[in-house]
Chain A
């Protein structure tokens, strides 16, 4: 069987995803180009050897529309023969790109692929692509789709997570992320964003609040209360009549931050890796997607992780290090509970609550963060998972190796 090797995984720093954020002035294509340039330099990469660029992007309109992947390849001056496309599996997009690349490599039909994602949430706000699932009343009423924040609150309600539980988790994310930055754990993979003159625009994640405390977090008001009370809470009760009411516990402090960023990985076969003298860092052992009940939505990682473990022939306890996207605190706590994960091996360098969640890019960012940390701790097996709109989940298991 062909194996899919990870040769490199890089990302941009994450800028605050709003006007005034450092990356607001950067076009998404420039974020991708910065990473493409860096991949060439870091890997001494002859671009004509790359067959495809798979780019996750959740809001592929405006600056991010019309197949940004191919546009970025041409703009970055990569060889004409490299193909490219953009995919959207909501928050799974960045990881889905990697999983798809791995599948293509393992099929033997392709040998070298760049996969990752991009999202400039400041320039192309969430949901500016509209869509049936979120905006068509015929669909909303039929499928019971509710805003994700309310789904997160619904999980907290059903699992009896308290506001303190969530805030405590959020604080931990902040502390861990700050610690990781202070100790330069991300250094290997961050590509600073420079302007056309080479002047620095951003070289550090911008969303962190290292000084925050439980007290401060406690003062924040629930974000999804108002919108829930307009009617979505009742939509939730349609599916979950056993609960009395949805407790609105998620705040801006224990939910993921809105940020801009991009991430890319270089994935290929042993044959191509040897030919180009690329250094293998890990193989992709298993990749899985799954769907689950869409109203509660954010429990999708559970079936996805089970599926991936089954493919890999592993048990949850075989996983030495976990990354689950911190879209909201509750879904992460739910996963932890479900698989009985020790908090010391889950999201050890913080997550999207502290660092932000650039929708299409996050999956690829998490994979890189996981791999860097596995190398630092000298671990072998790690897992990345994300909750996904529509009740989907995605999971990837990687296994470190330094030879083909």
Chain B
């Protein structure tokens, strides 16, 4: 519903109150509500009884786009194209009657919702840090489709529009003002409406720049302008560096901007619709929507959280260890207003954690996400100490000390003494079984694993590891805690390597195997990136350290006994560790050479120990090997119930170790590839490279069933 009110100055306020949910959504169905209003406005205009229009919202948000279910099911580009064109006509009708319109933004305005604001002559937003504005479409492999690309370009120029649209970022009001996405900030609702009315009275006879053929110019110029053309060249190259040509959406955005700058507004809008339809009907947007929308929402809604326990709201968190990991966790907690007690062996060591947090908070002040005053207030919520007794009032304590069982047991005992019975304790181990560590716990039911990934202030994934004695309630509370710091929890079994590290290791091992087969290290590293992995295999091996890489394999060998077949990479690791004494990044030497003040480079002598004997290579096949190894392992994890759901396996793979997002995650990869084709390919690889590529029984079963998709597996 759209509420229509008119004041004595002939200024109409349209208040969006659409649908029964507590937020306003715009999509091709809901947009129909505009049609009658537009007709009425035109009539009013004709009678000279309309001076200006204010669009605002009765809900807590302004307006958000929301057609994902529809877009996801429709695969006909004609339908998608028409849908975009129809919505465009509505927005166009709105901005064209010749009376000025102000968007009075009282809450979130995202996607097509922000596009509506862009279709207004002036944008005022309430200065509330919780409000977000912008275009997150690119994160789902899509782009704006109601002229947002073109309007933003006209208003801000090609390059700025490109940055905003491809960042996928949702900007707070001040950030948006700084970028020029909005025109003014208001103190509150009343101030916003007052400002809007004032602006409307002062700015009669407004034309959008694109409707003003004489004076209207794209800010900064079109793609024809020599300096703009040069920048576009550079942006095209940068784009390849960032996407390896795996993500079509940012390129579609750049193409739309460039091509759109050379033609009139309506033609440009049509170009936008065509690129949009192409993206929507492509597999990348399908995969990314699956992971970042459907899978993410399933996880968020508590798909794997034990039921029957009320929501836990952490107020105070203790952290042991002020290293990078501990400080990163502290920052993540603080950012959400949770009090933090950061402990280390001495006050001065603990204070280093504080410095880190302060620096990171300053970063986000700079990004306009919090105010300087808020930074000070947040820092006041942080205590640094060398005493475990400070944990007394903590709801939970997270241990993030060096990976050593005895040390971990010691800090656990120290902390537990001071914790009350209801508080729980989480170890951030990456390779020591939680059940074993729980031996040292007084309250093993309240003991759990919380596996953060480095850098903890940035990586969104946290593995929740349930030990044999861990209670369901503790799991539920750990889940709520991870959600409270806005990270994504996945629940994993206390089994070797848990989920992420175990699957990640297969990527590393496959890369190392290729080295042993005579492929050049540069090739392995580049193809890893081109496959879409965020990091290359050998670099990742160094990061993890070769000893840990081997350790996971030893754990597997121990568990699987006679069934275990040694991975061909293990012997390479042993040579590296035992003979060449190159253990990885921490020691400053691994597959790479690490010198201070210099970018790491591949150890020049590496090829004398592992000669690059291959003179040719099959790029596609090597890329597939690197990915298949991980996908197969992820299936094993599902089968062994190391991970409970496909949603968690997919999102975990992307957020945890950088599996290609454009494939939708490690299990979605199979559907993207086609189950039958995937199984066939595994068999080819198994014959050629060994048992590690054998088809897991779960996939064979799936192949025999009617449903040929991973997404349908009944767990």
Q: Is A199 an interface residue (CB 8 A)?
A: yes
Known: A19-B267, A24-B267, A25-B270. A197 touches B262 (CB 8 A): no
Residues of A within 8 A of B591 (CB): none
A192-B280 Cα distance, complex, nearest whole Å = 24
Residues of B45-84 contacting chain A, CB below 8 A: 77-78, 81
Whether the pair B270, A197 counts as a contact (CB closer than 8 A) is no
- In the assembled complex, the CB of A129 is this many whole angstroms from the nearest CB of chain B, namely 14
Whether the pair A197, B278 counts as a contact (CB closer than 8 A) is yes
When C-beta atoms are compared, the residue in chain B nearest to A61 turns out to be: B224
Known: A25-B270, A62-B224. A197 touches B263 (CB 8 A): no
Q: 0/1 per residue, A10-27, Cβ < 8 Å to B? A: 000000000100001101
Q: Is A313 an interface residue (CB 8 A)?
A: no
Known: A62-B224, A197-B281. A24 touches B263 (CB 8 A): yes
Residues of B within 8 A of A285 (CB): none
Residues of B within 8 A of A19 (CB): 263-264, 267
A106-B274 Cα distance, complex, nearest whole Å = 44
Q: 0/1 per residue, B255-275, Cβ < 8 Å to A? A: 000010011100100110011
A24-B270 Cα distance, complex, nearest whole Å = 11
A19-B268 Cα distance, complex, nearest whole Å = 11
When C-beta atoms are compared, the residue in chain B nearest to A122 turns out to be: B263
Q: Is B277 an interface residue (CB 8 A)?
A: yes
- In the assembled complex, the CB of A197 is this many whole angstroms from the nearest CB of chain B, namely 4
- In the assembled complex, the CB of A219 is this many whole angstroms from the nearest CB of chain B, namely 28
Residues of B within 8 A of A25 (CB): 259, 263, 267, 270-271
Q: 0/1 per residue, B268-311, Cβ < 8 Å to A? A: 00110011011001000000000000000000000000000000
Residues of A within 8 A of B278 (CB): 196-197
Residues of B within 8 A of A195 (CB): 274
Q: State which of B78, B263, B267, B274 has its C-beta within 8 Å of the C-beta of A196.
A: B274
Q: State which of A24, A62, A123, A199 has its C-beta within 8 Å of the C-beta of B78.
A: A199
A24-B265 Cα distance, complex, nearest whole Å = 12
Residues of A179-214 contacting chain B, CB below 8 A: 195-199
Q: Using a Cβ cutoff of 8 Å, how many contacts connect chains A and B?
A: 32
When C-beta atoms are compared, the residue in chain A nearest to B77 turns out to be: A197
Residues of A within 8 A of B264 (CB): 19
Q: Which of the listed residues A25, A62, A123, A196 has the most CB atoms from chain B within 10 Å of its own CB?
A: A25
Q: State which of B224, B259, B267, B277 has its C-beta within 8 Å of the C-beta of A197.
A: B277
When C-beta atoms are compared, the residue in chain A nearest to B276 turns out to be: A197
A123-B262 Cα distance, complex, nearest whole Å = 8
Known: A25-B270, A25-B271, A62-B224. A198 touches B77 (CB 8 A): yes
A403-B275 Cα distance, complex, nearest whole Å = 45
- In the assembled complex, the CB of B602 is this many whole angstroms from the nearest CB of chain A, namely 30
Q: Which of the listed residues A19, A24, A199 has the most CB atoms from chain B within 10 Å of its own CB?
A: A199
Residues of B within 8 A of A123 (CB): 262-263
- In the assembled complex, the CB of B376 is this many whole angstroms from the nearest CB of chain A, namely 52
Q: Which of the listed residues A63, A123, A195 has the most CB atoms from chain B within 10 Å of its own CB?
A: A195
A155-B447 Cα distance, complex, nearest whole Å = 99
Whether the pair B77, A199 counts as a contact (CB closer than 8 A) is yes
Residues of A within 8 A of B275 (CB): 196
When C-beta atoms are compared, the residue in chain A nearest to B267 turns out to be: A25
Residues of B within 8 A of A27 (CB): 259
Known: A19-B264, A27-B259. A197 touches B271 (CB 8 A): no
Q: Which of the listed residues B81, B224, B267, B281 has the most CB atoms from chain A within 10 Å of its own CB?
A: B267
When C-beta atoms are compared, the residue in chain B nearest to A25 turns out to be: B267
Residues of B within 8 A of A199 (CB): 77-78, 81, 274, 277
Residues of A42-75 contacting chain B, CB below 8 A: 62-63
Residues of A within 8 A of B77 (CB): 197-199
Q: Which of the listed residues A123, A195, A197, A199 has the most CB atoms from chain B within 10 Å of its own CB?
A: A197
When C-beta atoms are compared, the residue in chain B nearest to A197 turns out to be: B77
- In the assembled complex, the CB of A277 is this many whole angstroms from the nearest CB of chain B, namely 31
A195-B274 Cα distance, complex, nearest whole Å = 7
A195-B77 Cα distance, complex, nearest whole Å = 10
When C-beta atoms are compared, the residue in chain A nearest to B281 turns out to be: A197
Residues of B within 8 A of A197 (CB): 77-78, 81, 274, 277-278, 281
Residues of B within 8 A of A62 (CB): 224
- In the assembled complex, the CB of B158 is this many whole angstroms from the nearest CB of chain A, namely 16
Residues of B within 8 A of A198 (CB): 77
A123-B275 Cα distance, complex, nearest whole Å = 20
Residues of B within 8 A of A63 (CB): 262
A276-B274 Cα distance, complex, nearest whole Å = 37
- In the assembled complex, the CB of B571 is this many whole angstroms from the nearest CB of chain A, namely 41
When C-beta atoms are compared, the residue in chain A nearest to B274 turns out to be: A195
When C-beta atoms are compared, the residue in chain A nearest to B229 turns out to be: A62
A241-B278 Cα distance, complex, nearest whole Å = 62
- In the assembled complex, the CB of A20 is this many whole angstroms from the nearest CB of chain B, namely 8
A27-B278 Cα distance, complex, nearest whole Å = 17
A13-B264 Cα distance, complex, nearest whole Å = 22
Residues of B within 8 A of A196 (CB): 274-275, 278
- In the assembled complex, the CB of B218 is this many whole angstroms from the nearest CB of chain A, namely 15
- In the assembled complex, the CB of B270 is this many whole angstroms from the nearest CB of chain A, namely 6
Residues of A within 8 A of B270 (CB): 25
- In the assembled complex, the CB of B222 is this many whole angstroms from the nearest CB of chain A, namely 10
- In the assembled complex, the CB of A230 is this many whole angstroms from the nearest CB of chain B, namely 25
A35-B275 Cα distance, complex, nearest whole Å = 21
A1-B299 Cα distance, complex, nearest whole Å = 76
A160-B291 Cα distance, complex, nearest whole Å = 76
Residues of B198-212 contacting chain A, CB below 8 A: none
Residues of A within 8 A of B274 (CB): 195-197, 199
Residues of B209-247 contacting chain A, CB below 8 A: 224
A196-B281 Cα distance, complex, nearest whole Å = 11
When C-beta atoms are compared, the residue in chain B nearest to A62 turns out to be: B224
- In the assembled complex, the CB of B212 is this many whole angstroms from the nearest CB of chain A, namely 15
Q: A-side interface residues toward B, CB under 8 Å?
A: 19, 24-25, 27, 62-63, 123, 195-199
Q: A196-B278, A199-B274 are in contact. List 8 more A-B contacts (CB 8 A).
A: A19-B267, A25-B267, A123-B263, A196-B275, A197-B78, A197-B274, A197-B277, A199-B277
Interface CB pairs A-B, < 8 A, 15: A24-B267, A25-B263, A25-B267, A25-B270, A25-B271, A27-B259, A62-B224, A123-B262, A123-B263, A196-B275, A197-B77, A197-B81, A197-B281, A199-B274, A199-B277
Top 9 A-B residue pairs of the complex, sorted by shortest distance between their CB atoms:
A197-B77, A195-B274, A25-B267, A197-B277, A196-B278, A19-B264, A197-B278, A25-B271, A199-B78
